[in-house]
Structures are given as C-alpha cells and as structure tokens.
C-alpha cells in the first residue's frame, strides 16, 4: 500500500509518499509560504529530477491540490492516479489527554482535535486545515492522526503534574504533555532492534536535539518522563526557545518592559535560546561556525545548551534504580545526528557517571551506530530519526 504522510505547519507543509511494500519513499516535498506572497512547492520523485513550482497558494487546500497534482504529474510525478494512495497519515501536534495512540480520523476525533486547540493554539489549527483539505480532495481515503503527545501519555503523575494548585490541572488540564513523541518512539523501537532487546524491556534516555529539542526517559519501552512540558517551550534551551526559566521572570519582564503576556511569550519562544544568548543565529551550524571564528557569545550559547542537556540526562538517570538498568543514551535529530562535537562534549562531560565517547566511532554524520567506547558505563548511540516512517507504519496498522 502507498501512504501519503502529511505534516502541516502554519505556512508550510511537508509530505512524503511511502510505498509500504519495502518501506521506500517514492516522492517527497515541501510547500512553503502558504498564504504569503511567493508560495512554492519543492517536489522530488525519487530517481527523477527535482521540481520547483512557484504559484500563489491562498490556503492549505490550494497547497494540497498542488501536492496531489505534483504526485501524479505525468512528467515528474510518482504515481499514475490518486487512486493508488491507500491512506493518509497526518502529524497532529497536540492530542491532549484524549489520545494515547494514533487513530483513524472520524467526526469524534475531529471534535477532540478541535478541543485541543485550546492547549495548542499555534500547532493544531494548521494540522486541522491539512486534514480537512485531504478529506475534501481524497473523500474515499482513510485518514489517520498520529500525535506528538501520544507516546508520552504513559508518564506517571509524579512526572506530569506541575506543583501548582491541583485545581488548575482539573480546570484547564495544565500538566506536562511532552512532544516529539513520534521521534522518541521511533528511536525506542530502532534501538531495541539494534541492541537485540525486547522493546517492552528497554530502558533509555533519548535525546532529540534539533531546532526544537527534548529528552525522554524511556522505561520498559514507554515514556516515563520528558523535558518538554505543557507546551514545547519547557526543558532545554533550543534554537529560539528559552527552555526552563524561573517563572517569576515573566511578570518581572512584563512590568519592567511594559510588555503583554503575548509579547513575553513571543520573546521566550522566538528570541531566546541559542539565538538569544549568541545574538548570531538560531541555527546550530552558524553557531558552530561563529565559535570557530572566536565569537565568545556563540561559545557561551553552545556551552549553555550542552550543559542543559547534561543536566537533564543526569536528572533522568535518577529515574532508574541503577545505571546498569539503562540500556543506552541515544542521540537523534538535526544536531544529535550530525554534530560529533556536541555529542562528544555532552557525553565526555558526564564522566562522573563513567560515560565515554569513542572518537573514531563518533566521527560521522547521519549514521546509525554505537558511539561510546567499550569501557563506557552506558552505551551511547546515534540514530537518524524517521518520524514520517513511524507515521506511515501507524497509518498502515490502523487502516489494514
């Protein structure tokens, strides 16, 4: 069966068409600047030349029409007819407490996703637009929702409750939800395969380090604790997000700078993290380049980020009875997969726990391998994540 995987952002849309017979990507692409001047699609059918089409796209419906046309284009497309698409899998950011697993989308599911717009005002609306557009363009094809939050629904209350009056959990569902669940789950499954362990018995600390970053403690194959919280702002310092700060900074800044809650939220989400510290960029490659040119604040930004990661790994070690219980620490996503310096600095900085990187094994990018030295107390791996494949697998399982 061929499955179309859709990941809708507010002004962008990523897609992959995957042939599940062999789990091969046959086409993929990105639509950018939806609803903004200069909209375009970058489409690639594997084995054919890449195609860029610029065309005004007023909304996600227009964008998806262009995706469908590109997929079936006689010259640069991948399939002859849309009838070949067996199902569509959608990434949905927030499933709240309603979804601990992926689901086939029906009216009740749409109602629940809509209800969760309240806790994910930035993320769920574009996901909903993508689903609605696919429903109208492919009315007879089953659609599946795969939630970023679902994997983390196994967390116990000691890890998901914030120590604020309990009534706010009851009234507004304010709690830790966690995100990047599809990636942490993929990494959990893949690590179990690589280490030859039953996934229901594996204990891990998975580090998704990209533009957005989060770390998860996985106990017996399930999420037990994770660093992102009520929103993806919590936890580590990231490209532009502050991560954990003293909450008293919020009212203090509002008062001192005469800012609204929304303005402070914007500063913490878009102007903070390594961008805020370095003043250079939110992109870790730019920060690394600036460091090598002697830019002090970029060095400071990287040091803060790596220290954040080490402290959370250290904290999550306490979730296990002994270090022997932890099967591996795993790096993934843009930075985790690609930056040998970041991986080495993080792991070698945890020498108090007997961790050690193997410089030769670690000297690579984007490969799947064990990168710790044989004497390291806990194995360390680097594994490229594949959220699209995870979404496609869940979709196939549910529509079969």
In this structure, the strands spanning 222-226 and 204-209 are unpaired
Among 62, 97, 288, 368, binds ligand ADP (CB under 6 A): 288
Measured from the CB atom, is 130 or 210 closer to ligand ADP?
Answer: 210
Q: Which residue is nearest to ligand ADP (CB)?
A: 334
Measured from the CB atom, is 364 or 399 closer to ligand ADP?
Answer: 364
Catalytic residue among 148, 234, 327, 358: 148
Measured from the CB atom, is 312 or 333 closer to ligand ADP?
Answer: 333
334 part of the interface to ligand ADP, by CB under 6 A: yes
Among 283, 303, 319, 368, binds ligand ADP (CB under 6 A): 283
Among 63, 335, 361, 383, binds ligand ADP (CB under 6 A): 335
Query: How far apart (Å, rounded) are the C-alpha atoms in residues 7 and 20?
Result: 18
**Minimum Å distance from CB 283 to ligand ADP?**
4
Residues between 352 and 371 that touch ligand ADP (CB under 6 A): 365
Measured from the CB atom, is 138 or 333 closer to ligand ADP?
Answer: 333
Query: How far apart (Å, rounded) are the C-alpha atoms in residues 183 and 9?
Result: 17
Among 5, 207, 233, 333, binds ligand ADP (CB under 6 A): 333
284 part of the interface to ligand ADP, by CB under 6 A: yes
Measured from the CB atom, is 211 or 265 closer to ligand ADP?
Answer: 211
Answer yes or no: 289 catalytic: no
**Minimum Å distance from CB 227 to ligand ADP?**
14
| Binding footprint of ligand ADP, residue count (CB under 6 A) | 14
| Structure tokens, 195 | 């280490």
> Are 301 and 177 in contact, with CB atoms under 8 Å apart?
no
**Minimum Å distance from CB 340 to ligand ADP?**
8
Binding mask 211-230 for ligand ADP (x = CB under 6 A): xx------------------
> Catalytic residue positions?
148
Residues of this chain that bind ligand ADP (CB under 6 A): 210-212, 239, 283-285, 288, 333-335, 338-339, 365
């Amino acid at each position: 069966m061929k499955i179309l995987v859709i990941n809708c952002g507010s002004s962008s849309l990523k897609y992959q068409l995957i042939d599940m017979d062999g789990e091969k990507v046959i086409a993929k692409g990105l639509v950018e600047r939806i609803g903004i001047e200069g909209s375009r699609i970058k489409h690639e059918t594997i084995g054919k030349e890449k195609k860029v089409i610029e065309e005004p796209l007023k909304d996600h419906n227009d964008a998806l029409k262009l995706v469908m046309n590109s997929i079936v284009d006689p010259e640069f497309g991948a399939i002859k007819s849309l009838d070949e698409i067996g199902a569509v899998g959608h990434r949905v950011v927030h499933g709240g407490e309603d979804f601990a697993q992926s689901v086939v989308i029906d009216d009740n599911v749409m109602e629940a996703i809509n209800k969760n717009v309240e806790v994910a005002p930035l993320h769920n609306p574009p996901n909903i637009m993508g689903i609605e557009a696919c429903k109208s363009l492919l009315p007879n094809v089953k659609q599946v929702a795969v939630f970023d939050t679902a994997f983390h629904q196994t967390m116990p209350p000691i890890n998901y409750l914030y120590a604020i009056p309990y009534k706010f959990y009851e009234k507004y569902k304010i709690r830790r939800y966690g995100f990047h669940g599809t990636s942490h789950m993929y990494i959990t499954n893949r690590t179990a395969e690589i280490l030859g362990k039953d996934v229901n018995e594996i204990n891990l600390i998975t580090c998704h380090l990209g533009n957005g970053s989060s770390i998860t403690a996985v106990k017996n194959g399930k999420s037990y604790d994770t660093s992102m919280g009520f929103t993806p702002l919590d936890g580590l310092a990231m490209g532009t997000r502050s991560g954990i700060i003293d909450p008293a900074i919020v009212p203090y800044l509002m008062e001192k700078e005469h800012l609204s809650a929304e303005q402070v939220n914007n500063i913490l989400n878009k102007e903070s993290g390594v961008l805020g510290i370095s003043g250079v960029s939110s992109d870790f490659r730019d920060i690394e380049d600036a460091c090598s040119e002697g830019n002090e604040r970029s060095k400071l930004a990287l040091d803060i980020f790596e220290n954040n990661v080490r402290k959370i790994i250290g904290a999550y070690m306490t979730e296990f009875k002994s270090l022997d219980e932890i099967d591996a620490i795993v790096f993934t996503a843009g930075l985790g997969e690609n930056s040998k310096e970041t991986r080495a600095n993080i792991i070698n900085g945890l020498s108090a726990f007997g961790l050690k990187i193997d410089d030769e094994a670690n000297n690579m990018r984007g490969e799947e391998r064990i990168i710790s030295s044989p004497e390291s107390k806990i194995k360390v791996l680097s594994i490229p994540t594949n959220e699209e494949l995870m979404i496609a697998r869940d979709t196939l399982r549910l529509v079969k």
